[in-house]
Amino acid sequence: MKNVFAITGLSLALLTGCGQHFVAQQSTVEEGTVKKNTDSSKISPGKIWLDDNGEVINAHGGGVIFQQGKYYWFGEKRGRFASEGVNVYSSSDLYNWKLEAMALSQDKNDTLSDIARGCVMERPKVLYNEKTKKFVLWFHLELRGKGYSAARAAVAVSDNVTGPYKYISSFRPNGNMSRDMTLYKDDNGDAYIIYSSRENYDLRIAKLTDDFLSVTTADTMLFSNHREAPAIFKYNNIYHLITSGCTGWKSNKATLHTATNLFGPWTESKINPMSGPQADITFDGQSTFVLPVAGKKDQFIFLADKWNPGNLKDSRYLWLPIQFKNETPVVEWMDEWRLGWFENNLKKGNNN
């Protein structure tokens, strides 16, 4: 959710730029002001979320994977304006989070490095590769001092889920610009990157190589209507893709596309996938990921960011359950909710 056509001075600083479950009383985040450490067993979208050490969770534009009984949340570490690297948090219950590490840091010593201090690292996503036994991190990279002209995908790898991750390379997938992106691993283990291209006017998909470190030539445009912030999941053998319009930092209406094949054709739904107050502006947020609840069939959580361009660290997290009405996914606003909502919703017969 950025204006990539007017990047100078302060606006560039803004572009170089929360989790849950310990909720602070303050309405804004300033360094050193939030130190409340109270356990929580609910998800409160849009509130300040603190980790188990009482610090504000700093993991924006992120994604979550489940590994050996724990969830691992990767996201952008942000200063007030600057991009500072990729953080990783862990949780066994999706309520209480522990800061594990800086999964990938910017290079503070080599000014010629792709990830030199001052670069922009956005929308990190991680997959585990069963063949290589490696964790592979992808993110959108803009080079230091280049504004948003680089438009590259970047890759790093680690033996451990929490890192540290070793930077490998950055590139334009098959020569295409690459900005907002997400990763998706299908049921057969094949993996894909879905990314905004051609100044965000095209949304593309490319199959990853077997080691997940690059892309194959299986690369196609899904549709062309100025979309970004892709978040994908599969339900009843149908792929569902939620995206955002391109309106800078201003929130807009999400759209839903569906397909039976990842390479299309994709059909745009006439139904707004969001429901409730501010549904037409995605609850003042922007999609980033859809998380399948581990071990639970057809339970998905919609993850979005409520961006604060005046203080990116204070951007908030909007996590909401996905329900299905006539086979169509709907994200309904809730001030707070618990994971038991899924079972209760099914008992009431609200899904379909």
Q: Could you give all domains of the chain from N- to C-terminal order, each with its CATH number?
A: 10-347 (2.115.10.20)
Which of 351, 301, 309, 299 lies closest to 331, judged by CA?
301
Q: What is the pLDDT of residue 5?
A: 34
pTM recorded for the entire structure? 0.91
> In DSSP terms, which residues pair with 202 in a beta bridge?
197, 224
Determine contact, residues 60/315, Cβ cutoff 8 Å.
yes
Residue that wins the pLDDT comparison between 20 and 72: 72
Quick one: pLDDT at residue 345? 83
Instruction: Say whether pLDDT at 29 is over 80.
Output: no
Distance CA 113, CA 104 (A): 14
Q: In this predicted structure, what is the pLDDT of residue 91? A: 98
Pick the range with the lowest mean pLDDT from 15-19, 45-49, 120-124, 137-141.
15-19
Distance CA 135, CA 128 (A): 4
Question: How confident is the model at residue 206, as a pLDDT?
Answer: 98
